[in-house]
Amino acid sequence: MADAKYYKIPDFWYRFVRDKLAVSGGIIVGALFIISFLAPYISPCDPAAIDARHVLSPPGPGHLFGTDALGRDVLSRVLMGAGISLKVGFFAVGISVLIGVFLGALSGYYGKLVDMVIMRFVDTMLCIPSFFLIITLIALFEPSIWIIMLVIGATSWMGVARLIRAEFLSLKRREFVLAARAAGAGDYRIIFMHILPNALAPILVYATLGIASAILIESSLSFLGIGVQPPTPSWGNILTEGKDNIEIAWWLSLFPGFAILITVLGYNLLGEGIRDSLDPRLK
């Protein structure tokens, strides 16, 4: 196999656990995963249950995070929204990574005309404001969680494509690639069996940071009313309800906003920690 460009797993783990901020990010992300899986079992109420007797009730013993304008328990909706946000983040980043890796690998490996065509397409996509492009595409379809994941992923692959192109331009000239080519390995084997495994580290960093970005985009779309549609709870559409009652129901904005803050912070800390641990020269 290829001579590894990055450091061995034990070295990476040793550096990672010494970074307190990175470990904190990992703990936050791990806790969010546990919450998202256990949300249906630990939610105190049905997140869609309407209770006209407790409309806009402030936080208290019966409803720790208060209730919304329909009497629904905000804590239950925030807990269920964690799973929605994480699902959107992972699927959207998965789509963007697949597209970006494929195009970036072709561009960096073959170069010349292939590289010029793909990179000009990337430059064109980067000139279009991503958020407005996402809004336009969603406006053409009926908003749903699957459309949102697909659109976010299909409009956020340019960064990873340029990153993988740079990695392939560097790695394809290494001795192990020349040896594989001399041994008769085809392009497919060289790309996916020799070069790509040595480019996985930056992909991992990008994916970790990209999840935080995708969660923010989903929350923004839901806040505008074109994201995840009610009654399905997401942090963005809970914030929308908070906007309508900001003067009398502060808890509708505080708790989902804090959940978004903690989630994005956790993924950013984890991504930065992974990046620094994989390449100590960045410190």
Question: Which of 149, 136, 29 is CA-nearest to residue 84?
Answer: 149
pLDDT band at 3 (very low <50, low <70, confident <90, very high): very low
Residues 39/80, Cβ–Cβ less than 8 Å: yes
- Which has the minimum average pLDDT: 2-11, 66-75, 160-169, 274-283? 2-11
Q: Give the mean model confidence (pLDDT) for residues 61-72.
A: 86
C-alpha distances (whole Å) from 204 to each of 125, 211, 251 are: 23, 11, 36
Which H or E run includes 272?
helix 251-278
* Residue 132 pLDDT > 90: no
* Residue 9 pLDDT > 80: no
Q: Which residues pair with 73 in a beta bridge?
A: 67
Query: What is the C-alpha to C-alpha distance for residues 160 and 111, in angstroms, rounded to an integer?
Result: 17
* Residue 64 pLDDT > 80: yes
CATH assignment, 9-282? 1.10.3720.10
- The count of residues in the chain is 283
C-alpha distances (whole Å) from 168 to each of 104, 204, 247 are: 8, 16, 54
Give the best-scoring range by mean pLDDT among 25-29, 207-211, 243-247. Answer: 25-29
Confidence (pLDDT) at 121: 92
Query: What is the C-alpha to C-alpha distance for residues 260 and 243, in angstroms, rounded to an integer?
Result: 16
